[in-house]
Amino acid sequence: MKINVYTVGGYNEVGKNMTVVELSEDAFIFDCGLYLPPVVELENKEHMDEKLLREIDALPNDLFLDKLGLRSKVKAIAVSHAHLDHVGSLPFLAYRYDAPILATPFTAEVLKSLIRDITDEKAKIRARKNKIISIMPNSSYSINAKKIHEVEFIHVTHSTLQTAIIALHTDEGIIMYANDFKLDNTPTLGKKPNYERLKKLAKQGIKALIVESLYAADERKTPSERIAYDLLEDVMLGTSNENSAIVVTTFSSHIARLNSIVKIANKLGRTPILFGRSLKRYTTAAKKINMLPFDAPTLSFKTEIQRGFKKVAKNKTDYVVICTGHQGEQGSILDRLSKGQFKFKLSKDDHVIFSSRTIPSPINIANRQQLEKRLKEAGVRIFTDVHISGHAGREDLRDFIRMLNPEHIIPAHGELQKRTALAELASELGYSLGYNIHLTENGKLVMIN
């Protein structure tokens, strides 16, 4: 039997990840994410639908699968984690497949919340078509199709909750999907990666590894999230801020990071308040599955946000404002704060801490520069890059590939140049380009024999 891997999306860009694995009679989808830059630039984000999103190239282009007769062979859609570039296209595309969606509980909750937010009623009904099945990390689900196939979710660390490496067990060996992850041995929330299970699977024999390439060129081990905690503490406890407001912005889905900020706010004797719709989405999802490690007000509706900032304005040194806007996104809380659109105005010597890095697309760079310019004009002090990445570096990837010892490697997530760095690493490890390292593009097929 041969295995066909269709690299649908995320092989020409960072975003809209989607990979389809075709066995003799069944097929499986891994991830179905959005490409965010064109979405960010949309002027009106209220009414997104499949047609519009296809036009702006924000969805993985899965239409070629229809011609190949693959659509009807799909038996399950397995989702690795809750980031939009992995889960965000499901509300618009999943209906095309007569297959359940498998995801860890947190990812499942985030997906449901995305579907709830669809404004068009017809589209919402369509988005609800697929059954969503919650799979606990470190457990499996059996698909009863032409054959019985086990889909296994293995716990791994990343920058959001309940991220999984997915193993599809086939007669030919295991297809492993590891997109995205880091190897954090001292996470601040939850356990370290399930190395035991990964090693056991390696012994059984991994046929092919689909693996993220984002930081494959970065010659280092990505430090633990624990270091991000330390950096935050260093800035928040180690600078003169007795008379300053403190505003921190970070990735909304990064529950562990939010927990660190809340903890340090408490150490400072300040009350943390979260502002922003996206923060609400992710903290609510975490709460539903009883995995929100902190208790802090999270304000999302217009009126509650205004009321929240009114409170902050009265005594700004009593609070730590945690808000959206780390990329300078127009309409985010920090963007509007910097434009003076709330009751609370930032002023001289207030602190704004970016617990993030700027994702280097030109639109982000321009947005951030404008945001920082406004902040500086108000005399605000800026602390940038108080952050540690959630993606494996070259030395982590080296350890990872060695541990798994797969027959074939398919570098994923990123344009060719990024994936080439992973190919070079694999080549250092004895793999061979064109033989068992597969560099490909969106809309292409890799045949594994």
Interaction site with its own copies (CB under 8 A): 41, 183, 185-186, 219-221, 223-224, 226-227, 230-231, 234-235, 237-240, 362-363, 365-366, 369-370, 381-385, 395, 398-399, 402-403, 416-417, 420-421, 423-424, 427, 432-434, 438-441, 444, 446
Nearer to its own copies, 140 or 384 (CB): 384
Which residues neighbour 323 within 8 Å (Cβ) at sequence distance 6 or greater?
247, 248, 249, 274, 275, 276, 279, 332, 333, 334, 337
Give the residue with the Cβ less far from its own copies, 133 or 363. 363
94 vs 421, beta carbon nearer its own copies = 421
Query: In Å, how far are 159, 171, 222, 323 from 389, measured between CA atoms?
Result: 8, 36, 7, 19
* Total count of residues recorded for the chain: 449
Quick one: 139 or 432, whose CB is closer to its own copies?
A: 432
Give Cβ neighbours of residue 153 (< 8 Å, ≥ 6 apart): 78, 102, 104, 135, 136, 137, 138, 139, 140, 141, 164, 165, 166
CB of 115 to its own copies, least distance (A): 30
* CB 374, min distance to its own copies, A: 11
**C-alpha–C-alpha distance, residues 249 and 233, integer Å:** 15
Least gap, CB of 358 to its own copies (angstroms): 11
Which residue(s) pair with 408 in the sheet? Answer: 208
Helix 277-288 and helix 105-116, axial crossing angle in degrees, nearest 10? 130
Nearer to its own copies, 25 or 219 (CB): 219
Measured from the CB of residue 314, what is the shortest distance to its own copies in angstroms?
26
User: Minimum Å distance from CB 255 to its own copies?
Assistant: 21
Provide the minimum distance between the beta carbon of 225 and its own copies in the complex, in angstroms, as a whole number.
10
Looking at beta carbons only, is 239 or 306 nearer to its own copies?
239
Smaller CB separation from its own copies, 63 or 366: 366
Q: Closest approach of Cβ 217 to its own copies, in Å?
A: 9
